[in-house]
Amino acid sequence: MERLAEALDAWRQAIGTEHVHVDAGTREAAGTATFATSQRVPAVLRPGSREEVQRCLRIAHALRVPVYPVSAGRNYGYGSRVPARTGSVLLELGRMNRVLALDEELAFLTVEPGVTFAQAHAFLEEQGSWLQLTTIGGPPEASLVGNALERGDGGGPYGDIFQHVCDLEVVLPTGEVLRTGPGRYPGAQAAEVLRWGPGPALDGLFSQSNLGVVTRMTFWLAPRAPCVRLVSAPLEDAARLETVVDRLRLLRLEGTVREAFSLWNDYKLFSVLGQYPWEAAGGRTPLPEEVRQRLREEQGLGEWHLSVPLQAPSEEQAQAAWGRVEAVLKGVLPGLTCYREEEVGEDVLRRVPSARNLRMMYWRQRSPMPAEPDPDRDGCGFVWLSCAVPMTGAHVERALAVAEPLPLQYGFEPNLCLLGVSARCAYLVIALVYDRKVEGEDARALECYHALQKAMNEAGYYPARLGIQAPVLGAGAEDDSAKVLGVLKAALDPHGILAPGRYLP
Amino acid sequence: MERLAEALDAWRQAIGTEHVHVDAGTREAAGTATFATSQRVPAVLRPGSREEVQRCLRIAHALRVPVYPVSAGRNYGYGSRVPARTGSVLLELGRMNRVLALDEELAFLTVEPGVTFAQAHAFLEEQGSWLQLTTIGGPPEASLVGNALERGDGGGPYGDIFQHVCDLEVVLPTGEVLRTGPGRYPGAQAAEVLRWGPGPALDGLFSQSNLGVVTRMTFWLAPRAPCVRLVSAPLEDAARLETVVDRLRLLRLEGTVREAFSLWNDYKLFSVLGQYPWEAAGGRTPLPEEVRQRLREEQGLGEWHLSVPLQAPSEEQAQAAWGRVEAVLKGVLPGLTCYREEEVGEDVLRRVPSARNLRMMYWRQRSPMPAEPDPDRDGCGFVWLSCAVPMTGAHVERALAVAEPLPLQYGFEPNLCLLGVSARCAYLVIALVYDRKVEGEDARALECYHALQKAMNEAGYYPARLGIQAPVLGAGAEDDSAKVLGVLKAALDPHGILAPGRYLP
């Protein structure tokens, strides 16, 4: 603790006393997520520039005090802003919120880690940009950089987000600065357009890791297409899923569908469209089957629901794409409908960041989502598990056979969503939603989470990203990766001061 | 040298005497490229399995004898199979040529490093596969793995090759084995379909580097489209290039053109279509301007020539895409024509690996390309430089202003090609073609190469890949990357035995 006091003094000098927070309120908020956590956060640092981040890390390195970087800290369901290990000082990058470049010709946006989806979208609107931002399932106040580093996924042609970023500026645990890609060379013209410059590609090393703090990143943006459609269909019967997934894979592989489709089950739809029907359920959880059936009938929903966005540069191309989708899917989905923009509302197809999906986290609350939602503060219980499933009907069936029954055994609805993130791989995203204020639920949720992860791993459907509630990687690997990752960690962070326990020990 | 003798003994025990070659002929061939080299190769090892590669590297590590891995060793223009530094033992992986998996559902192919484009294509044909292989500008006998690790580019929707690979199996310089992606976990189902499993993405680390030997890789394959077109146009006048590039960028960004277009200048076309007109040129080099004009007229060529392949799953989609391409390009390219498959020959659009482009290397030879071409053996002089240029007309003009005049000053034709590899970045590929048997040309070619690279770097158009003729990276960087790369190299290869001088020291 003496070291901590010394470090705090040094940090105050380095970034200003007003940006080093040690008050109980801030520290407690920093330790609060949407599930049970026991991490103690000794302080919160808010550096305002890359140079200040360097200073903070050099002090941490010299005095061996662990720090845990977050961009906006909105990683709901995976730990919000809470450090993976107790005793880590939070390095919160929200003050670094400058948009550094927008290039309308080469179609990219360069930002600092504090820039949020809402802010970036507003900026593009303000500039009258012809480009679109990827939208995510998370909140509008999430950080673009934070999301990309977690390898999040979203809507739009660049929804496999980390495949479409470039030129990361990274501060290493020892204070050095690195730029991935050609941007490190004087006067490099292709810095923002070539992912990897000559030599080893280092960007991946800093995603889902604790090897560096990213202080700047370029996002490639797709043009807003003049012609957009939403193809949509209810699946009356979950038995159709297998065939539907196989045909969707064909459409993804051949390039007709150029972005993620989504398949939501009824529980997921209920939780976004409304709140838990406490009265109809007679106060019981999980949702009784007869209430579930009734809700489905009332809202005209199937067991699952498919959405496939189509974007095209011309009416002819949009029409031809829809023709092809219809030819492939209509036979198994007679309810398949193609909506134009004016029919579904501009916001949905124009990629406006929305808090709509946040409602899901308030599903089991007794009062509606407030105007300024804060699931951490509001006691929302919310745990996410995202698993990688090869995109075949057979694999999806097998994964669902694990993911569907388990939550119910612990008293939670299996709130499920299958995202066609790439042509060959879907993410099965399982949400456990509860009310943290209900005695015993916190413990039950984490128990359920661990049982789910174990069962999914055993079936071979490993997670695509990890929350702080997950054990660190390595132990299970059959190759020498644990050793090699250890060597890399020791080389770049010899005192282990950066985010111990986050993905790596 | 004593250590070498000890190592040779150990290698003979490890992989069999018959796979350790020390005869003068083999060693000389291993040191011969398509330009002047002075590297001495003490021996050639030909391991037959991943385990044998591990043994070879453990011996190299223990005895501190450097080894230099090549897959098929067909990296023409960048050094063929010649080690970057003298004294490195060649580790030639050609015996590891098994196709390990083909998945027609999830559309991937898993191969060992010795598998060539010709072999993989023949395998797909044999299996009656519905999938296509990316084709490259290099020879059919090039290795898929080798090409991908150099981050080569090619035709087809997955032409930005390294963006479409997965699950690398890597032997580290110290003998450990690593699998990138989820394949390292027991029973992982998504090994071949999710690039990065949970945790840091390590694949990039082993591309364009000397940090590991890749012994297995999965390639995602695109379906063969039922409807293919080739859109093509001569550019009578190079002044059109600027506008053409800007409009091509639009077509790439919006997704109408889903693979690399290519713009070839007349010299490049001449060199693929025929050989140097020694008689017409009166024996002089470089090609006299009046002969150039006459060749162009005779062959009906413009100063540049554009090719844009289109692939679509349905006739309607192909028609709509061509309609859009025509609307965007016809105004600046009145000669724009859309050819159907039957008009251009099945091979071109069906992605059959072809030796056609190898002809270019024989441009200045006095006899025609033999039936079994081997540019190293045949004394072809051939040096390649590939630079990354942001895809705007203005950048392309600026890069060409450097790349066009310089070769002529050294007596070489500016053999140029602009590849629209991704939506935002083009590769300007400059070939210096000469006859190694002509006194003084070898030296002049490397002088020209270095002058070109210097001038392109100064203009900010850094190389996208490096040959062994290029200096190692690092010195010029403005960030701490040289130091960080040094730390990584020292951590993974403490005795520096793997491919010293290849991209990294």
Q: Using the beta-carbon criterion (under 8 Å), do A196 and B207 form an inter-chain contact?
A: yes
Instruction: Characterize B340-362 residue by residue with b for buried, 16 or more Cβ atoms within 10 angstroms of its Cβ, and e for exposed.
Output: eeeebeeebbbbbbbeebbbbbb
Tokens in use for A274?
A: 């409304």
How many residues appear in chain A? 505
Per-residue pLDDT band at A199 (split at 50, 70, 90): very high
Given a cut of 90, whether residue A359 has pLDDT beyond it is: yes
Residue B356 has what pLDDT?
84
Residues B239 and B189 placed together within one structural domain of the fold: no
pLDDT of residue A198: 92
In this prediction, residue A350 carries a pLDDT of: 66
Q: Per the omega criterion (within 30 degrees of 0), is the bond before A390 cis?
A: no
Question: Does some domain include residue B475?
Answer: no
Indicate whether B263 and B205 sit together in one domain. no
Kind of pairing between the strands at B227-235 and B380-390 = unpaired
pLDDT, residue A1, reads: 60
* Cα–Cα distance for residue pair A64/A58, rounded to 1 Å: 9
- The pLDDT assigned to A355 comes to 84
Q: Tell me which chain B residue has its CA closest to the CA of residue A467.
A: B198
Out of B416, B435, B458, pick the residue that ends a domain: B458
Task: Specify the pLDDT at position B344.
Answer: 82
Q: Are B65 and B33 in contact (CB under 8 A)?
A: no
Say if residues A36 and A80 touch (Cβ distance below 8 Å). Answer: no
Do B345 and B254 lie in a common domain?
A: yes
Strands B213-220 and B165-171: antiparallel
- CA-to-CA dists, residue A292 to A407, B21, B288, B344, angstroms: 15, 73, 82, 59
Mean pLDDT of chain A: 96
B216 and B248 inside one domain? no
List Cα–Cα distances, B299 to A266, B234, B266, B274, B366, in angstroms. Answer: 65, 12, 10, 11, 21
Query: Is residue B184 located within the same domain as residue B205?
Result: yes
Q: Please state at what angle helix B441-458 crosses helix B393-403, rounded to 10 degrees.
A: 150
* The two structure tokens encoding residue B310: 């289109």
Nearest CB to B317 within list A202, A324, A481: A324
Confidence of residue B476 (pLDDT cuts 50, 70, 90): confident
Judging contacts by C-beta atoms under 8 Å, the chain A residues touching residue B389 are 189-190
pLDDT of res. A302? 94
Q: What percent of chain A has pLDDT over 70?
A: 98
Residues shown for chain B: 505
- A293 contact partners, CB below 8 Å, separation of at least 6: none
What whole-number distance in Å separates Cα of residue B459 and Cα of residue B369?
36
Residues B172 and B302 in one domain: no
What residues have CB less than 8 Å from B440, skipping those under 6 apart?
none
Instruction: Name the minimum distance, in Å, from the CA of A163 to any CA of chain B.
Output: 8
Assigned domain for A21 exists: no
Number of structural domains, chain A?
2
pLDDT at B307: 96
| A473: nearest CB among B196, B199, B255 | B199
* Interchain contact, A188 vs B460, CB within 8 Å: yes
pLDDT at A474 over 70: no
Residue where one domain finishes, among candidates B223, B258, B280: B223
Using CA atoms, how far apart are residues B456 and B478, in angstroms rounded to an integer?
17
CATH number at residue A128: 3.30.465.10
Residues B139 and B151 occupy one common structural domain: yes
Which residue is it, tokens 């879907």? A426
Residue B95 structure tokens: 């015996």
Domain carrying residue A157? 99-223
B104 within a domain of the structure (yes/no): yes
Per-residue pLDDT, A349 = 65
pLDDT beyond 90 at A473: no
Any domain includes A91: no
The residue type of B469 is: Q
Task: Give residue for tokens 């990274």.
Answer: A170
Q: Which of B215, B249, B317 to mutate to test the interface with A (most CBs of A within 10 A)?
A: B317
Handedness of CA B410, B416, B422, B424 (dihedral sign): positive
- Spatial separation of the C-alpha atoms in residues A497 and A60, rounded to whole Å: 6
Are B319 and B389 members of one domain? yes
How far is Cα of residue A442 from the mean position of the Cα atoms in its chain? 22
Nearest residue in A to B247, CA atom:
A105
Judged against a pLDDT cut of 70, whether residue B475 lies above it is answered with: no
A498: pLDDT strictly greater than 90: yes
Q: What angle do CA A218, A425, A201 make, to 5 degrees?
A: 35
Whole-angstrom distance, CA of residue A26 vs CA of residue A19: 12
pLDDT attached to residue B351: 75
Compute the distance between CA of residue B78 and CA of residue A435 in angstroms, rounded to an integer.
62
3-state secondary structure of B435: strand
Same domain, B165 and B191: yes
User: Which domain-ending residue is among B189, B223, B257?
Assistant: B223
Chain B CB contacts of A184 below 8 Å: 477-479, 481
State the complex-level ipTM: 0.97
CA distance A163 to B195: 10
Residues A246, A393 contacting (CB under 8 angstroms): yes
- A312 Cβ neighbours under 8 A, 6+ residues apart: A225, A226, A227, A228, A229, A318, A321
Question: Residue A378 corresponds to which tokens in the numbers above?
Answer: 């509001």
Q: Among all chains, which residue has been given the structure tokens 């392109």? A: B456
Q: Which residue of B has its CA nearest to A132?
A: B254
**B15 domain-assigned:** no
| Cβ contact B425–A319 (<8 Å) | no
Reply yes or no on whether the pLDDT at B464 is more than 90: yes
Highest mean predicted confidence (pLDDT) among A61-70, B128-137, B231-240: A61-70
A482 and A475 Cβ atoms separated by less than 8 Å: yes
Q: Are residues A321 and A333 in the same domain?
A: yes
In a domain, B231, yes or no: yes
What are the start-end ranges of the H helices in A373-480?
393-403, 405-409, 441-458
Q: Which of B196, B316, B392 sits opposite A323 (nearest CB)?
A: B316
Residues of chain B neighbouring A163 (CB-CB closer than 8 A): 163, 195
Task: Identify the CATH number of the domain in which residue A377 sits.
Answer: 3.40.462.10
Burial of B428 (0-12, 13-18, 19+ CB in 10 A): buried
How do residues B301-332 score in pLDDT, each as one tens digit?
999 999 999 999 999 999 999 999 999 999 99
Q: What is the mean pLDDT of residues B483-500?
A: 97
Judge contact between B133 and B120, C-beta under 8 A. yes
Q: What is the pLDDT of residue A348?
A: 66
B219 with B281, same domain? no
Whole-number mean pLDDT of chain B?
Answer: 96
* Closest residue to B395, CB basis, from A186, A189, A202: A189
Element (H, E) at B448: helix B441-458
Measured over all CA atoms, what is the biggest interatomic distance in chain B, rounded to whole angstroms?
A: 70
Q: What is the dihedral of CA A388, A390, A393, A396, to 10 degrees?
A: -20
pLDDT at B463: 96
pLDDT band, very low/low/confident/very high, at B367 (cuts 50, 70, 90): very high
> Which of A58, A454, A458, A462 has the most B C-beta neighbours within 10 Å, making it the best mutation to test the interface with B?
A462
Query: pLDDT digits over A93-132, tens only?
Result: 999 999 999 999 999 999 999 999 999 999 999 999 999 9
> Is pLDDT of A437 > 90?
yes
DSSP secondary structure code for residue A445 in this structure: H
Q: What was the pLDDT predicted at A237?
A: 87
For residue A476, the model assigns a pLDDT of 85
**A250 and A127 in a common domain:** no
Q: Indicate the SS3 state at residue A2.
A: helix
The residues with which B481 forms a beta bridge, in sequence order, are none
Q: Model confidence at A38, in pLDDT bands (50, 70, 90)?
A: very high
B299 belongs to a structural domain? yes
Task: Please give the Cα distance from B22 to B499 (Å, whole number).
Answer: 19
Which residue stretches of A255-357 are H helix?
A: 266-273, 289-299, 315-329, 341-344, 346-349
Alpha carbons B309 and B302: distance in angstroms, whole number: 19
Quick one: how far is CA B62 from the chain centroid? 33
- The secondary element (H helix, E strand) that includes residue A426 is strand A425-435
The answer to whether residues B399 and B483 touch, using CB atoms and an 8 Å cutoff, is no
pLDDT band at B342 (very low <50, low <70, confident <90, very high): confident
* Partner-chain contact A323 B313, CB within 8 Å: no
Predicted confidence band of residue A255 (pLDDT cuts 50, 70, 90): very high
Say if residues B60 and B67 touch (Cβ distance below 8 Å): yes
Q: Is the pLDDT of residue B473 over 70?
A: no
- Residue B106 forms part of a structural domain: yes
User: Which ranges of B306-425 does DSSP label H, i.e. alpha helix?
Assistant: 315-329, 341-344, 346-349, 393-403, 405-409
Minimal C-alpha gap between B215 and chain A (Å) = 14
Question: Distances from the Cα of B458 to the Cαs of A193, B425, B451, in angstroms?
Answer: 18, 18, 11
Tell me the nearest-neighbour CA distance from A120 into chain B, angstroms.
20
Q: What is the pLDDT of residue B397?
A: 98
Q: Which of A104, A106, A163, A167 to mutate to test the interface with B (most CBs of B within 10 A)?
A: A106
Kindly tell me if the per-residue pLDDT of B1 is higher than 70: no
Confidence category of residue B349, pLDDT binned at 50, 70, 90: low
